[in-house]
Amino acid sequence: MFEIVNKQILAEDVKRVDIYAPHIAKNALPGQFVSICPEEGDERVPLTVIETAEGRGTISLIFQEKGETTGKLGSLPIHESVFSILGPLGQPAKIEKVGLVVCIATGVGTAQMLPIARAYRKAGNKVIGIIGAKTKKELMLEAQMRIVSHKIFITTNDGSYERRGVVTDILKEIIAKEKVGLVYAIGAIEMMQEAVSITKQKNIAAKVQLNPVMVDCMGMCGACRVKIAGDLILACTDGPEFDGHQVDFEDFKVRMNAFKESGQCRSHTLPRSKARKGSTILTKFLSAFRGK
């Protein structure tokens, strides 16, 4: 079970793995994720299910090697098995026919956007993709996004590829010209906040996926609380998709920064025995929010 049946290097630190997990392959819907533990005693990390192949019983994950756990997953060879995978987790994306959907993504959010864009297209919508990165080298999954989009726009901050600028520049232009039914944004918090702000001015529906730090991914630790329409909601059980107009992005930024300041990240700064890893992270995380 959980054998890595295929592995691809998509960019320097971005990998795709296809893993044999027939129960998840059968049940996962666009927008859902898994919690994966590469080897016994490792932390668990949430990763979006990018594709499923029910016939082969596999799920595909695309991930950036950000720290210890994603690095460990990326180092496992084909035919090795990962220790455990829980899923599918989270709420599936609510896919509707709305006409024109603009799917705007940066960084690893582009991987998470793939199943969403594909599902909107399958539901009969026209899909315009806008993907961006700081430089051409950091641009992810261009070919895959071209396939799922009717039209695609690409920006790089330094102008090393396609349009110089940021993805939201293009969003403004599209909204000025076309009747947009929905803007769906996944990626950097500032980008999602700006995209939502643009849609608010024009009264256009907006959805985002929030990726707060998650510990148990099962609604028990409270680590992933986000403020939606004034209420604290758990992103792991009620998200990760939310109505962009209801997200309190300022609160979200404070929470993400509080975690970084208290723990830096889950692996680099915490020398500890493997057996105690999970509880150490949770304690650090919760102490970051005491009183908030």
Residues near ligand FAD (CB under 6 A): 33, 43, 45-48, 62-64, 66-71, 108, 111-112, 211, 213-214, 240, 260, 265-268
233 contact choice in ligand FES, ligand FAD, none (CB below 5 to 8 Å, kind-dependent): none
Considering the complex, state which of residue 47 and residue 171 has its C-beta at the smaller distance from ligand FAD.
Answer: 47
184 contact choice in ligand FAD, ligand FES, none (CB below 5 to 8 Å, kind-dependent): none
Instruction: Provide the binding-site residues for ligand FES, judged by CB under 6 A.
Output: 214-217, 219-224, 234, 236
221 contact choice in ligand FES, ligand FAD, none (CB below 5 to 8 Å, kind-dependent): ligand FES
Q: How far apart are CA 89 and CA 108, in angstroms?
A: 19
The answer to whether the CB of 152 falls within 8 A of the CB of 131 is yes
| Tokens of residue 9, six digits | 């290097």
Asked if residue 88 has a cis previous peptide bond (ω within 30° of 0), the answer is yes
70 contact choice in ligand FES, ligand FAD, none (CB below 5 to 8 Å, kind-dependent): ligand FAD
Considering the complex, state which of residue 84 and residue 197 has its C-beta at the smaller distance from ligand FES.
Answer: 84
**Min. distance of Cβ 86 from ligand FES in angstroms?**
12
Question: What end-to-end distance do the CA atoms of the chain give, in Å?
Answer: 41
Q: Which of 85, 99, 103, 100 is nearest to 32 (CA)?
A: 85
The answer to whether the CB of 40 falls within 8 A of the CB of 124 is no
216 contact choice in ligand FES, ligand FAD, none (CB below 5 to 8 Å, kind-dependent): ligand FES
The answer to whether the CB of 20 falls within 8 A of the CB of 54 is no
Which residue has the closest beta carbon to ligand FAD? 67
Considering the complex, state which of residue 111 and residue 214 has its C-beta at the smaller distance from ligand FES.
Answer: 214
Q: How far apart are CA 93 and CA 264, in angstroms?
A: 30
| Tokens of residue 116, six digits | 């969403």
**Min. distance of Cβ 157 from ligand FES in angstroms?**
32
**Min. distance of Cβ 24 from ligand FAD in angstroms?**
14
Considering the complex, state which of residue 63 and residue 242 has its C-beta at the smaller distance from ligand FAD.
Answer: 63
35 contact choice in ligand FAD, ligand FES, none (CB below 5 to 8 Å, kind-dependent): none
Considering the complex, state which of residue 61 and residue 130 has its C-beta at the smaller distance from ligand FAD.
Answer: 61
**Min. distance of Cβ 248 from ligand FES in angstroms?**
17
Tell whether the torsion through CA atoms of 284, 255, 262 and 109 is positive or negative. Answer: positive
The answer to whether the CB of 184 falls within 8 A of the CB of 116 is yes
Dihedral, CA of residue 62, residue 66, residue 68 and residue 70, to nearest 10:
0
Residue partners of 27: CB distance under 8 A and separation at least 6: 88
